Amino acid sequence: MAETHNLQDLQHQAAVASKVYVQRDYNSGTICRFQTKFPSELESRVDRQQFEETMQTLNNLYAEAEKIGGKSYLEGCLACMTAYTIFLCMETHYEKVLKKIARFIKEQNEKIYAPLGLLLTDPIERGLRVVEITIFEDRSIGSGR
Amino acid sequence: MNNCEYQQIDPQALSTPTPTPTLPPRPAVEEERTRRKWEVFPGKNRFYCDGRFIVAQQSGVLPLTLGLILVTTVLFFVFDCPFLVKHLTVFIPAIGGVLFVFVVTSLLQTSFTDPGILPRATPDEAAYIEKQIDDSGSSTYRPPPRTKEVMINQQVVKLKYCFTCKMFRPPRTSHCSLCDNCVERFDHHCPWVGNCVGKRNYRFFYSFIVSLSFLTAFIFGCVATHLALRAQGGRGLIFALQESPASAVELVICFFSVWSILGLSGFHTYLVASNLTTNEDIKGSWSGKSGAEDPGNPYSYNNIITNCCSVLCGPMPPSLIDRRGFVPVEESLQTVSTEMELPMLAAKKEINVVGGPMPSQLPPLLCLAGSLPSTCNPPQPD
C-alpha cells in the first residue's frame, strides 16, 4: 500500500528526466528476448544485479510463452481441427503468460523501481520491441538537478 | 538532464506560440469522447466492427475469391449432389460441406486477422535510436542505408532501418508498401485475401490454400464422375452437359483453379518444411549465392517435422497493435511539450504518450495490459 501511494505521488510530483530503451536481443533468433546489458544511464539509480535479475526473469517469462512443446502443439492441433474457432472461447497460452508478465512488471515497479524514481513499461505496450524505462527527476529529494 | 531533441519541460519553449497550431484548443478538447486506437492507426488499414476486424486498404479481389468459392459450391450442391447422392453415397455432400466450411473460415480469418503488424516507434524511442546511430557515426551526414548486424545462430543477419516506422526492423520483418506497415515474418501481400500474410495469419492462409485445393479437387472429381455417369450408355458427353449445364461451369472453374491452387499449396508446403517465407525465397536470402559455402537458413530447425510444427502449431502470438484499446487522454504539460517538438505528429500524439508518467494513466495502462487478451483475439465472423 505504501509503495502504491509512493508510485502515484511520483507521477504527480515528478517530471520525466529521460527514457532509456532496452532493445531486443536477436542472437537466439526471432524469439522474444531482451538484452540484459546494464544501460549506463541507470548506473546511479539502480543496482546492476537487481536490474539484470529483472530482465532475466522477464526473458524467462517470454521464453515460457513462446515455448514449442507438447502443450503448444496440442493447442495448435485442436485449434486447426476446430477451424480456429476455439480461439473465440479459449485464451491462448501466450495470452495467459502475457497477463503474468503484466503482473510481474507491476510488482517490480511497485516494490523496486518506483522508490528509485524509475518506471518500467510493459514491452507489449511498445509492440514487444523495447523495454522502456522512464527516469524521473528526483524533485522530492531536492537534489537540484 | 537535457536529451538531445526531446526536452520534456522547457519554460521558454512553452511560451512560444508558433509551432503549436493544436495547443490552444487542447484543454477544451479534453472533454471529447475517448477514441479507440484503431481510429488513430497510422497504417493504411481499414477496421470494421469497432476495431475487431482489420483488412488492408484495398480489399483486392477478396469479393471475387469469396464469390467464386460460393458460386461453385452452391452450384455443386444444387445440381450435382442430388444425382450423386442417388447414385453413389450421401457422404459426398457431407464431405463437401465440411471442406467448404473449412475453406470459408480460413479465408475469413486470413483476411480479417492482424498479420503481425508492428506498431510504429514512439517519438522518444525514435529519438533514442537516432541518437545511438549518430553517436556511432558522423553527426552531420546521415548515411542513407542504416543497417545493424546481429548474429543469429552463428550467422550474420543485417537488420534494416525502416524510415516509415522509425525503428530497426526485427529479423524476418518487412515493410508492406500497400498496407504501409512493418509486418513480422512477412510472407507476402495476397490480393486474393485482401491482406498481408505474416506471422499471425500464416497458419490460416496455409489451411485456406490446402483446404481449397482439396475442395476444388473434390468438386472437380465429383463433377467429372457425375458427367461420366450421365454420359454412360452411349449417350455421350454433350448430352450429359446439356442435362446439367451448371456442371460445365464448375468444371471450367475447378480445372483452372486446381492447377494454380495445388501448385501454391505445394510451394507453401516446401516453405513450411524449410521454415522460409515467400519473401526470403524470392530474394534468395539463404540460397548461398556467394561461393560454395551454403550459409543456410538460420531460423530452420533442420528437421522437417519441427519446422512444420513450429510454423503451423506454434503458440499463437498476440496482436501487437491493440486495436480496441483506448487512446489515453493526456492532461499534463509534459506531453504538450512533446507536441511542440513534433507538430506534424499532433494527430498521433496520443499513441506516443502511452508509457508516459501521467497521473491518471498508470491504472488505465495496467488495465490495458490486463484487458489486452480479450481485445486481441483473432477476429471471428459472428
- Name every chain A residue with its beta carbon within 8 A of the beta carbon of B124: 19, 21, 132
Residues B278 and B231 in one domain: yes
pLDDT mean over B315-335: 68
What pLDDT is stored for residue B147 in this prediction?
Answer: 83
Q: Which residue of A has its CA nearest to B378?
A: A87
Q: Chain centroid to CA B151: how far?
A: 27
Q: What angle is formed at CA B85 by the lines to CA B84 and CA B86, rounded to 5 degrees?
A: 90
Residues B145 and B259 in one domain: no
Interface contacts A/B by beta carbons within 8 Å: 171
Helix%, strand%, coil% for chain A, nearest 5: 50, 15, 35
C-alpha to C-alpha distance for B2 and A134, rounded to whole angstroms: 14
* Radius of gyration of the CA atoms of chain B, in A: 27
pLDDT confidence tier of residue A9, bands split at 50, 70 and 90: low
**Which of A110, A132, A113 is closest to A122 using CA atoms?**
A132
Question: Who has greater pLDDT, B339 or B126?
Answer: B126
Residues B248 and B101 in one domain: yes
**Which of B84, B298, B310, B44 is closest to B179 using CA atoms?**
B44
Residues B246 and B271 in one domain: yes
The residues that bridge with A120 in the sheet, in sequence order, are A133
Residues B89 and B194 in one domain: yes
Kindly tell me the sign of the dihedral angle through the C-alpha atoms of B301, B306, B311, B316.
Answer: negative
Range of the domain at B140: 119-169
- Name every chain A residue with its beta carbon within 8 A of the beta carbon of B378: 84, 87
Residue A99 to residue B370, Cβ atoms within 8 A: yes
**Which of A54, A55, A96 is closest to A75 using CA atoms?**
A96
- Name every chain A residue with its beta carbon within 8 A of the beta carbon of B315: 65-68, 72, 75-76, 92-94
3-state secondary structure of B2: coil
Residue A84 to residue B167, Cβ atoms within 8 A: no
pLDDT mean over B235-257: 84
Tally of domains in chain B: 2
**Which of B346, B335, B276, B342 is closest to B311 using CA atoms?**
B276
Contact B357, A16 (CB under 8 A): yes
The residues that bridge with B190 in the sheet, in sequence order, are B195
Contact B72, B222 (CB under 8 A): no
Residue B355 to residue A126, Cβ atoms within 8 A: yes
For residue B47, being part of any structural domain is answered with: no
**Which of B42, B119, B28, B22 is closest to B346 using CA atoms?**
B22
Residue A21 to residue B172, Cβ atoms within 8 A: no
3-state secondary structure of A120: strand
For residue B30, being part of any structural domain is answered with: no
Residues B155 and B273 in one domain: no
3-state secondary structure of B22: coil
Lowest average pLDDT, out of A64-68, B18-22, B121-125, B183-187, goes to: B18-22
Lowest average pLDDT, out of B139-143, B158-162, B272-276, B297-301, goes to: B139-143
φ and ψ at residue B149, rounded to 5 degrees: -105, 135
For residue B179, being part of any structural domain is answered with: no
Contact B189, B59 (CB under 8 A): no
Give ipTM to 2 decimals. 0.81
pLDDT confidence tier of residue B215, bands split at 50, 70 and 90: very high
Residue B26 has pLDDT above 60, yes or no: no
- Name every chain B residue with its beta carbon within 8 A of the beta carbon of A134: 355-357
Residues B164 and B148 in one domain: yes
Residue B37 has pLDDT above 50, yes or no: yes
B254 is known as an active-site residue? no
pLDDT mean over B6-27: 47
| Of residues B125, B152, B355, nearest to A29 (C-beta) | B152
Contact B115, B200 (CB under 8 A): yes
* Cell numbers placing B239: 448430352
3-state secondary structure of B232: coil
pTM tops 0.90: no
Which residue in the list B81, B179, B190, B376 is annotated as catalytic? Answer: B190
**Which of A13, A19, A130, A42 is closest to B7 using CA atoms?**
A19
| Of residues B204, B314, B317, nearest to A76 (C-beta) | B314
Residues B110 and B221 in one domain: yes
